[in-house]
Amino acid sequence: MTLPTIQLTCTPHRPNVKSVIITPLQLEREPLLFDEAIPAGALEYAPDVTQVGPLPVTGRADLLLEHRGHREQVADIRLRAAYHGDFEVLCARCVEPVQTPLTGSFDLIFRPQEADADPGERAITPDETEIGYYEESGLSLEDVVREQVLLSLPSRTLCKEDCKGLCPRCGQNLNLESCNCNPTADPRWNALAGLAGTVKSS
């Protein structure tokens, strides 16, 4: 049996493609395979993160029916996918772009928001703290990928370990050349110098 596949063809003149929305109705009979290439500029990650080139994403979505009592069922969506692409992340010191190749995968479960609208009705197990939620309109694949990319990136990126950063006065990138600004004295040393003077006078 061949499973249905979603495949988006992105043109360079249309960077903002329509989102892939996954709904339980699509998954009632069989899992859904998807093969997408998210173009650069389609997703906004963070002010210091830029996607360079397309981001291929392949995977599948499955419907998991969660039984609560005799009549109540909750339609959970299990989303498994892998992605790889190139990003530029600004250096934390000199704010120059750093080439950052990224490869990742995820296996996540999403539950409809209204299923746990009143958390007081039932206890939440430790496993359920890892469950995400999707809106009534469905689960946006792009939103999930964006979140996973941000989680995969390092919390702090440097162009090199000994990056000198920017001059705090003129903004010159000190890795490229020095500036003529006088070095700023650390106020903590000033405090120690004043204390030393007090000790000598006494």
pLDDT tens-digit series, residues 31-53: 999 999 999 999 999 999 999 99
In order, the DSSP letters of 139-157 are EEHHHHHHHHHHHHS-SS-
pLDDT tens-digit series, residues 53-86: 999 999 999 999 988 777 788 999 999 999 999 9
Which two tokens mark 178?
């020095």
| DSSP percent split of the chain into helix, strand, coil, nearest 5 | 20, 35, 40
Reported as a pLDDT band with limits 50, 70 and 90, residue 16 is very low
Give the span between the Cα atoms of 19 and 118, in whole angstroms: 29
Residue 12, pLDDT > 90, answer no
| Amino acid symbol at 24 | P
Q: What is the DSSP letter of 41?
A: T
What separation in angstroms does the CA of 69 have from each of 74, 118, 122, 130?
11, 16, 12, 22
pLDDT tens-digit series, residues 159-195: 999 999 999 999 999 999 999 997 665 556 566 655 6
Instruction: List alpha helices for the chain, DSSP H.
Output: 141-152, 187-201
Bridge partners (DSSP) listed for residue 81? 59, 106
pLDDT tens-digit series, residues 109-156: 999 988 776 555 555 455 554 689 999 999 999 999 999 999 999 999
Q: What is the DSSP letter of 42?
A: S
CB-based burial, 3-28: b 16+ in 10 Å, e otherwise = eeeeebebeeeeeebebbbbbbebbe
Give the span between the Cα atoms of 149 and 25, in whole angstroms: 27
